[in-house]
Structure 1
C-alpha cells in the first residue's frame, strides 16, 4: 500500500484503507456469490445452452414429451388445489385465534403448528400407515378394505389433501400478523351499527386482511411446489408425475447425463415459484389498507358457542395430527408391518435397531448433526454481520447480497440441489478437487438454502436497536469488530439464537435438497425414511420417524420454555 508524502515530509493517509468492515463485507460477498448466485447462473446456463449455442432442439424435444406436459400440469394443478385447502383451513384457524375470545389458545396453536415442524416425508408415511386399507384405523372405523386394494392416498386427490393440511400452519402464521393489524375502531364501528359477529367478519375483518391472505396463499403455493417428501411418498407409487419427482427419478436413473434436461425442468419449477410470489405481492399491494399498526384487534365473543368451536378445532387436530402419528407409533412398536398392536406383537427392537444397530442410520444421523450444527453456527454469525449492512450500510453490493440470499431460499430445494451438482460436479478451479459426493456440497447447499431463514429474524431484531449506541462507540474510537462484539451482539443475541434454533429444526431432517446430493458414503437422516420405506423396512422407518418427531417436539418445548428470553413473535408457535 503506497502513501503520498505531504509538504512537511510526513506521509499522508493511505489512498485506500482496507478496514475490517470492508473485509467482512468482501467475505460475505464471496460467500453469497459462490454458494447462492453462481449455482443459479450455472443452472440457467446448463438448461438453455449446449456446446453449440442455444439448446433449441434439445428443449423442443424435452417439452414435446407427453410425460413432461403431464408433470407440469400436475404440478400446477396440485399446488393450486392444495393452496385452496391450506387457505381455507389456515384462515379459519387464524380468525378464531386472533379475533375471538376462545380459551386455551396457546395449546391449540402449539398443536396446530407442530406438523409444520415435522419432516414432510414423516408426515406422509404417518398418513400412509394410518389410512392403510388393512390398517387399524380404518378397521376401527369399520372401513377396512380387502387385501390388495389400492391405497386411498395414492392419487392426485391424496397428494392435494395432504399438502393442503401440511401447509395450513403456514397460512395461519401469515394471516395472524395481518389480522392483528386491523384496528379495533373499525370493527367496533360496525358492531355499533348493528352488525353481528358474522357480518363483522365478512364485511370488515376479511376484506381488510385480504392482502395477508394473498401473501399466505403465496407461501402455501411455493411450499406445495417444492415439497418433495409428500410428492415422492404419494406421487411415485401412484404414478402421478410432477416436476419435482420427475427430476429426482431422471437424475437417479440416468445420472449426470440427464442434468441439462433436468436443469430445464428446474427452471420451469423456479418460474412457477417466482410467478406465485410476484402475483401474490401484486395482489397484496393492490389491497394495502394502510391501517394503524398500533391498534388492538377486536375480540369477538363466542359465548356458549366457544365450547362447540373448541371441540371442532380439537377434533380437527385429532384427525390431522394425533390419528396419523398414533398409527406411525403403532407401526414402530410391532414386529412386522400390518400386525395389530398386542402384548404378543409389541416390541422395541425397531428403536434398538435404529439407535444402536443400524450403522447406516447412525452415520446418517451423525452427518446430519454436524452439518446442521455447523450451518446453524455459521449462519448465526454471518446473518448478524449481513443484517448490520442491510440495516445501516445499504448500497448496490449489499442489496445484491440480500437478493442472492433470498433467491436461494425461494428456490425449490430440488432445484437448488440440481444447481449445486452442476456447479460442483467438476473439480474446483485452482485446487483440482471435487466436492461432489462429499458432505461439503451438502453444507454449501445448506448455507445457501437457509441463509434467508436465519437473516429474517435478525433483521427484525436490528429494527428494534437504537443505532445511537453503536455510533457512540464509533465516536469513542471502537473499531468495527469491537463494536459488533461489545455493542451489537449483546443486543441482537436473543434474536440471532432464536433464528439459529429455527435453522436447526429445519435443517436436521431436511430432504428437499440433500436427496440429490447424498451418495453411498455420505447420507443424511432425512432421506433415510424414503430409502427404508422403499426397501420394505416399514417398521424401522416408522421408528426413525417417531424419533425425528420426538426430537422436534423436544426442541419446540425447550424453545418455548426459554421464550421469555427471546423477542416476542420470534418463535412461530408463540401466541
Structure 2
C-alpha cells in the first residue's frame, strides 16, 4: 500500500486520475444510462428484461449466429493474416511493399460498401460478369446470401487488421535465438514452430481477439448478406428492433446489448489470462527480421500473393467502378452504357460529398490523435510494476474492449442518452454536432489503437524505468525520454488504424449525423438506402481513390519517419 502511494505521488497520480475521468465520461456514463433503461424494472435493478429477451426465439438464435460468424471468421482472418505477415516479414518474396499497400485497401472500404461491392461482383446483375458473359441466370440465388458468405466477407474485411498487428510484432522480435537455431541446423518449418510462433503468441492472441470483436460488432456485412439468408446476428437484430419504434424498443435494445457486453467481458478475460501466461519480455531495440530464402517455392508464393490481391481487391473494386460507370444498375459495361454522369453528379452537383469528406477527415483524424495519446498513457500503467495502478489500467483496458465489442448502433443510442441535454456549466448540447460523433469515436475505437500500443509496452524491460527512477528522473522525464520514444512507432500505427477504421465507418454515426454533419459512410448508405445504387457506387469509388491517395502520401512521408510508424512500410 505504501509503495503504491509513493508511486502515485506527482505525475503518476494526476495522470491516472485524468484517465479515470476520461473513461468515466466516455465509457461508463453513456453505457450506464443505456443499462439503466434496459436492466431496470419498476425502478430497481433487475434481470427480468434480459430474461424476457432470452425467452424470445430470435435472440438466442442471433446470439449463436454472432458467436459463430465472429469465431469462424476471426480464425480464418488469423490464419490468413498471420501467413501473409510471415511471408512479407520474413521471406525474400519480391514486391512486398506493393503487395502490403494493396492488401490494406480492403480494410479502408466500409463493411457495407464491401458487401455491396461483392454482391455486385458475384450476382446476376454484376456489370463485370455480364460483360464477359459469366453472370448467373436472372432470378438465381445469390451465392453470398448465406452463412458462408457472411463469414467469408467478415474474414476478408478483418484479415488486414491481423496482418498489421502481426507484422508490427515481427519487427520487434530479437534475431539472436532465430540465428542460433539456424546455425544449429533448424529448417524454416522448425524455426517457425519452435522460435517465431511461440514468441508471437501474445500478438496472435491479441490479433484474434481484435478480429473477433470486430466481427462481433460488424453490422454492414451481416445486414446485407445475412438478412436475405435469414442469418441474423445480434447487431442486425438490434437494428431491426430499433426500426420498430415500439414502446419497449430501448429496453429491448439495452437487454440485447447486455448480452454482447457479457460476451465481450468473457473474451477479454480469456485473452488477458492467455496473455499473462504467454508473456515474454524482450530486451533491446527492434531489429531487422530474418530473411528466409524461399528458393524454388518463391514463384508459387508470389503467385498466391497476386491471386489474393486479385480476389480481395481487384474483383470487388472493379465491380464498384463498373456499377458507377453504367447508366442504370444491372446493365453490362459497354461503350453504349458507359457514362461519367454518376461521378459528375457526386463530385459537382451534390454538396454533401465535399462536406462528408471534410467531416470524416476532421473527426477521424482528431479521434486518432487523442486515442493514440491516451493509449500511450494507459499502456504505461499496464506495463508498470505497481500492482494497484496496473490493476486500474487493466480495468480500463477491459472497459475499452467492451465498448469496442458493442455495436456502433448501441454506442450511438448511449451517446444520445448521455449528451442530448445541454452540458452542465456551459449549457451547450452536443447533439446534432460533429462533437458527439467525435466523442463516440473515442469510445468505440479506443481498443483499436490500444492493441498494438499495449503489445509494444508489455515487451519493454521494466528495468529501464526502474533504473531511471533510481537515478532521480521524474515521471514526466521518464515518459518523454524512455517510454514514449520506445512505443512511438506502435502508437503511430495504432493512430493510423483508428483513422482508417473511423474514416469510412457508418454504424457509429448512423444515428448521430444530421444535415451538415454527414460522414462518408452515412452519405454512401443514404444513397444505397434511397435506391441510388449507381450514385452509391460512384461515391464508394471516390472514397477508394481518396483513401489510396492518403495511403500514398503517408507512404512517401514514411521515408523520413522511424520504422513502424507507417504500418505498410517495410
1:214 pairs with 202, 205, 228, which one? 205
Tell me how far 1:70 sits from its aligned partner: 1.4
Residue 5 of structure 2 aligns with which residue? Answer: none
**Superposition map of 1:275-286 within 5 A:** 275-286=266-277
Matched, 1:304 2:299: no
User: What is the distance in 2 between the residues matched to 1:503 and 1:205?
Assistant: 28
Residue 149 of structure 1 aligns with which residue? Answer: 140
SS in 2 for 1:149: coil
Cα displacement string for residues 181-231 of structure 1 (whole angstroms, at most 9, x for unaligned residues): 3755457647855x6544554566545544543332222211111122222
User: What is the distance in 2 between the residues matched to 1:81 and 1:492?
Assistant: 32
CA RMSD of aligned residues (A): 4.2
**Larger of the two Rg values belongs to structure:** 1
The TM-score with structure 2 as length reference comes to 0.82
Residue 355 of structure 1 aligns with which residue? Answer: 347
User: What is the distance in 2 between the residues matched to 1:246 and 1:311?
Assistant: 41
User: What is the distance in 2 between the residues matched to 1:551 and 1:454?
Assistant: 22
Residue 533 of structure 2 aligns with which residue? Answer: 538
SS in 1 for 2:94: coil
Matched, 1:125 2:80: no
Residue 236 of structure 1 aligns with which residue? Answer: 227
**Superposition map of 1:252-271 within 5 A:** 252-254=243-245, 257-271=248-262
Tell me how far 1:69 sits from its aligned partner: 1.4
Tell me how far 1:322 sits from its aligned partner: 0.9
2:569 pairs with 564, 571, 574, which one? 574
User: What is the distance in 1 between the residues matched to 2:269 and 2:20?
Assistant: 26
SS in 1 for 2:511: helix
Cα displacement string for residues 399-444 of structure 1 (whole angstroms, at most 9, x for unaligned residues): 7477446623534342422322332345555677654444332222
Contact 2:128–2:322 (CA under 8 A) maintained in structure 1: no
Distance 1:347 1:142, change over 3 A: closer
**Superposition map of 1:69-148 within 5 A:** 69-139=60-130, 143-148=134-139
Cα displacement string for residues 133-170 of structure 1 (whole angstroms, at most 9, x for unaligned residues): 23244446764222122221121110000111221122
User: What is the distance in 1 between the residues matched to 2:196 and 2:383?
Assistant: 33
Contact 1:363–1:523 (CA under 8 A) maintained in structure 2: yes
Residue 330 of structure 1 aligns with which residue? Answer: 322
Tell me how far 1:570 sits from its aligned partner: 2.5
Tell me how far 1:364 sits from its aligned partner: 3.6
1:346 pairs with 311, 320, 338, which one? 338
Contact 1:405–1:448 (CA under 8 A) maintained in structure 2: no
1:45 pairs with 36, 42, 46, which one? 36
User: What is the distance in 2 between the residues matched to 1:456 and 1:431?
Assistant: 35
Cα displacement string for residues 239-286 of structure 1 (whole angstroms, at most 9, x for unaligned residues): 321111111221233168412221121121122223223323433444
Matched, 1:32 2:23: yes
Q: Which moved more, 1:43-52 or 1:361-370?
A: 361-370
Which 5+ residue runs of structure 1 have no aligned equivalent? 1-17
Distance 1:164 1:35, change over 3 A: same
Contact 1:333–1:341 (CA under 8 A) maintained in structure 2: yes
Contact 2:38–2:251 (CA under 8 A) maintained in structure 1: yes
Cα displacement string for residues 465-510 of structure 1 (whole angstroms, at most 9, x for unaligned residues): x989x99xx99xx998x99999999999988776655543332222
Tell me how far 1:77 sits from its aligned partner: 0.9
User: What is the distance in 2 between the residues matched to 1:424 and 1:105?
Assistant: 46
Contact 1:113–1:169 (CA under 8 A) maintained in structure 2: yes
Matched, 1:525 2:517: no
User: What is the distance in 2 between the residues matched to 1:88 and 1:494?
Assistant: 25
Tell me how far 1:546 sits from its aligned partner: 1.1
Distance 1:25 1:366, change over 3 A: same
Matched, 1:516 2:511: yes
Cα displacement string for residues 37-83 of structure 1 (whole angstroms, at most 9, x for unaligned residues): 22233333333223332334333221111111111111011111212
User: What is the distance in 2 between the residues matched to 1:529 and 1:222?
Assistant: 24
User: What is the distance in 2 between the residues matched to 1:485 and 1:281?
Assistant: 28
User: What is the distance in 2 between the residues matched to 1:375 and 1:433?
Assistant: 21
Matched, 1:61 2:55: no
Cα displacement string for residues 73-132 of structure 1 (whole angstroms, at most 9, x for unaligned residues): 110111112122212212321232233222222222222222223322222222111112
Matched, 1:446 2:463: no
Contact 1:36–1:405 (CA under 8 A) maintained in structure 2: no
Residue 4 of structure 2 aligns with which residue? Answer: none
1:550 pairs with 545, 549, 556, which one? 545
User: What is the distance in 2 between the residues matched to 1:479 and 1:143?
Assistant: 65
SS in 2 for 1:517: coil
